[in-house]
Amino acid sequence: MTALKPLPPVKSRINIRGLVEIADRAQVTLTNLRDDLLEPWPRKMAPEISSSRLAKLCQIDRTQLNYLCTRGDKGTYPTGTLSGTKRSRMFTVAEAQDFVRANGAFKGKPPGMKAIACAVGNFKGGVGKTTQTVAIAQGLTLRGYRGLLIDLDPQASATTLMGYVPDAEITEDMTVMPVVYGDELSLEYAPIASYWPGLDLIPSCPALFGADYFLPNKQAADPKFEFWKVLDNALEPLRHKYDFIMIDTPPTLSYLAIGSFMATDGLIVPLPPETLDYASSTQFFRQFADLFEQLNDSKSIEKEFEFIKIVLSKVKQSAATTPVVKAWIKQTYHELLATAEIIETDIVMNASAEFKTVYDLSSYEGSVKTFNRALESFDAVVDEVESDIQNAWHRRSMENGD
């Protein structure tokens, strides 16, 4: 007769108190990791920019850059700091931004134009939404623009990437919630300077989950209330202060997400070329289209985006299925698909593990070629977004008769 296997030890059930203890432990662990390893706010520092990198941003060669530093118009260009061999220069991010703005390649925001607000959204997790939001914002500042990053995701991953532990350091009144509650009509109170020059932040914390209880209840109680205008109206004063506004949206079609989409001029949708991600994207656009159609039918609300861009993310170039799924995506979204794509590399994944983007890295211990390839893929996406922003300003200028 076969002996019965012993039963595993009986584990205790987990009650609410147990969940609270686990949540407390998780918060302490994250805080310790942040303090010990990740150099967050206020110790998180923007990287240095090499002369080669800066020359590329300025669309000039390094010899010309060195000439501008040493023999160009005195005081026009930052000179940086000579590194070890004194053959190359390193620049702070602020110096690099000033250099780009002084260079003829910088287009800038036309006089009288408002900031272009852009949401980054996808209902499926793990597509690189937050990383792209923060990286695009950083990349645009490296091209000389001044921007605002708004975290509307209650999970607050963008806030964490910017160096904060949301539970411990961000209070509800530092987020968009005072506007949601109607205590504030404008978001002018909210932007804070970040560790990254030229990029301010409106942070998030789990309190934002409350928006999707408050907004529908207020809408039901007051038929004249227009929840979809709350963020749009609150952003208006800030559109005059910044060149661009990047919004990391909630990963659901929530009331807060709807408000963010109504407030933005452009939409970026990260999409890995994987079968399940492609299938999810069709649901995203179906729900997205149905939402705006319903708002139009019931409230006569019109909405136009200056641009919608699908960016292939986490592209595994060696995967056998990648070309097939890319073909599906191109066939489905040919008019929206960006030319540039974000390739999957260890550099990007390792940076994310340390709460950083590729732009936070001054160098890489591995292959320089791999590092440059990762940078170039993000740069190419930023170039396309910059082009869309400039086209939006040009279109508005033409409509205004300028």
Could you tell me which of 40, 46, 135 has the C-alpha nearest to residue 93? Answer: 46
R_g over Cα of the chain: 23
**More confident of the two residues 353 and 32:** 353
**More confident of the two residues 314 and 147:** 147
Q: Looking at residues 282-294, what average pLDDT do you find?
A: 80
Give me the pLDDT at residue 334, please: 83
Helices 275-299 and 322-332, interaxial angle, to 10°?
20
pLDDT per position as a tens digit, 93-150: 999 999 999 887 788 888 889 999 999 987 777 778 899 999 999 999 999 999 999 9
What backbone phi and psi angles, to 5 degrees, belong to 248?
-90, 115
Of the ranges 284-293, 315-324, 392-401, which one carries the lowest mean pLDDT score? 284-293
Contact 153, 257 (CB under 8 A): no
Task: List 118's β-bridge partners, or say none.
Answer: 246, 266
* Long-range residue pairs from 288-297, CB within 8 A, at least 24 positions apart, any chain: 288/253, 288/261, 291/253, 291/258, 295/228
Q: To the nearest whole percent, how much of the chain has pLDDT over 90?
A: 39
Give me the pLDDT at residue 292, please: 77
The domain limits of the chain are 49-102, 116-399
The torsion defined by the Cα of 297, 230, 163 and 239, in degrees rounded to 10, comes to 100
Give me the pLDDT at residue 154, please: 92
Class of domain 116-399: alpha beta
Would you say residue 377 has pLDDT above 80? Answer: yes
Average pLDDT of the chain to the nearest whole number = 85
Please measure the distance between the N-terminal and C-terminal CA atoms of the chain and give it in whole angstroms.
93
pTM of the model: 0.87
pLDDT per position as a tens digit, 191-202: 999 999 999 999
Task: List 90's β-bridge partners, or say none.
Answer: 50, 81
pLDDT per position as a tens digit, 205-247: 999 999 999 999 998 999 888 888 999 999 999 999 999 999 9
Would you say residue 10 has pLDDT above 90? Answer: no
Among 65-79, 161-175, 237-251, the range with the most confident prediction by mean pLDDT is 237-251
Could you tell me which of 141, 146, 236 has the C-alpha nearest to residue 187? Answer: 236
Helices 93-102 and 129-142, interaxial angle, to 10°?
60
Helices 255-263 and 211-221, interaxial angle, to 10°?
80
